[in-house]
Amino acid sequence: MRIPLRLAGLSGVALLLTVGLAVAQDQKPGTDGTGDPKAVSSDDGKYVDKSGNPTFSIKPDGTVDYYTFSGYIRYTANCMPCHGPDGLGSSYGPALATSLKRLSYGEFLGIVASGKKDVNAAQTLVMPTFGDNKNVMCYIDAIYIYLRARADDAVPRGRPEKHAPKPAGFSKAEDQCMG
């Protein structure tokens, strides 16, 4: 299943959440984004696993697909202030490289778009909503793919040294989403 990058305000976010949660509910245990990340097919440079979840592709020489590279760039710009460099966590937010080992693709989409609040006697943790933030939502699959690669230890810390060229489909979706 392919979720388009184009979002239009709250209706786009509602669609994203509906589709993302439907994907999560339709999946059998072990077939969500925490399953085998091996890419089985590609559509214009965007790879998916056997369950249809976005995933990474890394060549033997270390070249990452463009979505993984873009995910690194977008993660660093938008998520790193709270979740730390390379998805390793900080005093403000959990290590997303660890969280992606147990979160499904649908759960990840829902948390990013709607936010999350965890309150206990020791602390209050709040993930703000990013559903209306085009700098995050237009690149949500790329961010997910990068974090999935980090969770699988498929990419090392830091900026990927080599990446595939930007696919035409990525540019088209980016232009449509960003306006």
Question: Tell me, what CATH number does 94's domain have?
Answer: 1.10.760
pLDDT digits (tens, 9 = 90+) for 65-103: 999 999 999 999 988 888 888 888 777 788 888 888 888
Residue 2 counted as domain residue: no
pLDDT digits (tens, 9 = 90+) for 34-55: 678 888 888 899 999 998 999 9
Residue 179 counted as domain residue: no
Per-position b or e across 1-20, b if 16+ CB within 10 A of its CB: eebebbbeeeebbeebbebb
The secondary element (H helix, E strand) that includes residue 172 is helix 168-178
Q: Which domain holds residue 60?
A: 9-174
Residues with Cβ within 8 Å of 44's Cβ and at least 6 positions away in sequence, in order, are 167, 168, 169, 170
